[in-house]
Amino acid sequence: MAYKIALYPGDGVGPEVVAEARKILDALGLPLEYRALDWNTTLYAKTGACAPADYLEQMRPFDAILLGALGDAKNAPDHVSIEPLLGMRKGFDQYVNIRPALLYEGVDCPIRNVKPYDIDMVVIRENTEGEYTTMGGRHYAGTPHEAAMQVSYFTRMGTERILRYAFETARTRKRKHVTSITKSNALKYAMVFWDGLTEEVAKDYPDVSLSHMLVDAAAMNFVRTPQSFDVVVASNLFGDILTDIAAIVIGGMGFAGSANINPTREFPSMFEPVHGSAPDIAGSGKANPIAAVLSAAMMMEFLGEPGAAGKIRKAVQLHLAEGKVRTPDRGGKNTTSEVGDDIRGKLEKA
Ligand code: NAD
Ligand code: IPM
Ligand code: MN
C-alpha cells in the first residue's frame, strides 16, 4: 500500500522548497502517491478564495500533508491566506507542533563558543488554542468607541495534553529536561493556570526535571545560551515567536523543519518548514530547501519509516559537513535545486 501524501506548496518559496523535498522523497524508493494542491494566493486572485470551501474534507483521506508556506501580501491579506494553515491545525486536531532546533556541523552559528550539536532542543508548541482562537471581534468602527478584542483561551484538556506530550518527549532524550514557558507574572489567569497544570503533570514524570521560565527571559536565553535547552513547552503564540529565534541560532530560517501532529491519528498530520513564503527571495532560487527536507524526514518518521527519515537526516548532515554546495543564506552562490540535488546525491552514502 502506498503512502498518500497531499503536497501543498502554497506561495512564494513554498513551491521551490517542496519540489526539493519531493525530489529527495522520490529517491528513497518507497511507495508514495501524491496529489498536488494548487491552493494559494494566485487562486485567491482568480476566485476570491485561497482554498476550496471543503479543503479539510479534500485532505482528510491523505496519510500526511507536506506544506511549503502560505501567504503573499501582494495578492491577499495575510490573515486570509494563512487561514487553511490554522484551519488544518485546528480542524485536524494537530495539537502538537514539534519544532526541533539542531546545530549541524558545517553551519555558521551566530552565537559565540558553540560547537556543532551543542544546540539540540525541541520546542513543543501548543497548536490549537491559546492566543490563536478565533474568539473576539471588532466593534464600533469609525467611532471614538472603536475597539478590538482578541481572546486567549486555555482549556484543561488542551493544556494538559501538550504538557504530557512535552514530558513524554523529554523521556526519550538524554537530558530529560522540560522548560515550561509562560508569562504568569502579567497574565495571571491563563498562565498561572498553565503553571499549575505543569506542576500537576510533572508529578507523573519523576524521571524528568522541570524548570519554569518567563517568555521574555526565554527570548533572551534562546540567544544567550541556546545550548542550555532540551525540551521547551510553550503556548501557541510564545512557541511561534521562540521558534524563529531557535531557527536563527541554528543557522537561519532555512534549517528549521516542523511537524503538526494529530497524535491519535484520527486525522492526517501536516509537515512544513517553520519559515514563511519569504517574498523577499521568492522566485530567485535563493531559498534554502533544508527546512522542507527535514520536515519531509519528520513526515517519514511519523508514517512509520524511521529508516527513511534517518537516511534523509544523514544525507543533510553529510551535505552540510562537506559544505561545497551552499545557498546565499550560507554565504554560497548555489540554487535551491542544486542544494536539493546535492542532498539527493548523498542519500547513497547515508
Ligand atoms: P519568512 O519566514 O517568510 O521570512 C523571514 C526571513 O527569513 C526573510 O528574510 C526570508 O528571506 C528568510 N527566509 C525564509 N525562508 C528561507 C529559506 N528557506 N531560505 C533562506 N532564507 C529564508 O517570514 P515573513 O517575511 O514574516 O513572512 C512572509 C509571509 O509568509 C507572510 O505572508 C507570512 O504571513 C507568511 N508566513 C507563512 C508561514 C507558513 O505558511 N507556515 C510561516 C510564517 C510566515
Ligand atoms: C508559523 C507561522 C504561522 C503561525 C502563521 C503563518 C499563522 O508563523 O507556522 O510559525 O503563527 O503559526
Ligand atoms: Mn512563525
Domain CATH code at residue 89: 3.40.718.10
Contact 101, 249 (CB under 8 A): yes
Catalytic residues: 140, 183, 216, 240, 244
Which structural domain, as residue segments, surrounds residue 162? Answer: 120-249
130, exposed or middle or buried, with CB in 10 Å at 0-12, 13-18, 19+?
buried
Which residue, 249, 268, 290, sits at the end of a domain? 249
Atom of ligand 2 nearest to the CA of 272: 9
pLDDT, one tens digit per residue, over 166-207 is 999 999 999 999 999 999 999 999 999 999 999 999 999 999
Measured CA to CA, the distance from residue 184 to residue 113 in angstroms comes to 32
Could you tell me if 187 and 153 lie in one domain?
yes
Could you tell me if 230 and 125 lie in one domain?
yes
pTM above 0.75, yes or no: yes
Contact 235, 95 (CB under 8 A): no
* Residue linked to cell 519531493: 22
Instruction: Tell me if 11 CB under 6 Å of ligand 2.
Output: no
Could you tell me if 30 and 128 lie in one domain?
no
Element housing 10 (H / E): strand 3-10
Distance 237 CA to ligand 2 centre (A): 9
Please give the pLDDT value at position 1. 87
Please give the pLDDT value at position 346. 98
Residue 58 inside a domain? The answer is yes
Could you tell me if 65 and 49 lie in one domain?
yes
Could you tell me if 263 and 238 lie in one domain?
no
Could you tell me if 128 and 234 lie in one domain?
yes
Could you tell me if 149 and 191 lie in one domain?
yes
Write out the chain's pLDDT in tens, 350 residues. 899 999 999 999 999 999 999 999 999 999 999 999 999 999 999 999 999 999 999 999 999 999 999 999 999 999 999 999 999 999 999 999 999 999 999 999 999 999 999 999 999 999 999 999 999 999 999 999 999 999 999 999 999 999 999 999 999 999 999 999 999 999 999 999 999 999 999 999 999 999 999 999 999 999 999 999 999 999 999 999 999 999 999 999 999 999 999 999 999 999 999 999 999 999 999 999 999 999 999 999 999 999 999 999 999 999 999 999 999 999 999 999 999 999 999 999 99
Alpha carbon distances (Å) from 140 to 134, 143, 151: 19, 6, 18
Instruction: Tell me if 72 CB under 6 Å of ligand 2.
Output: no
Which residue, 216, 249, 282, sits at the end of a domain? 249
**Structural domains of the chain, count:** 2
Which residue, 186, 216, 249, sits at the end of a domain? 249
Residue 108 inside a domain? The answer is no
Instruction: Tell me if 73 CB under 6 Å of ligand 1.
Output: yes
Could you tell me if 210 and 278 lie in one domain?
no
Distance 240 CA to ligand 2 centre (A): 6
Could you tell me if 133 and 210 lie in one domain?
yes
Distance 274 CA to ligand 1 centre (A): 8
Residue 101 inside a domain? The answer is no
Question: Crossing angle for the helix pair 14-26 and 336-346, nearest 10 degrees?
Answer: 20
Residue 105 inside a domain? The answer is no
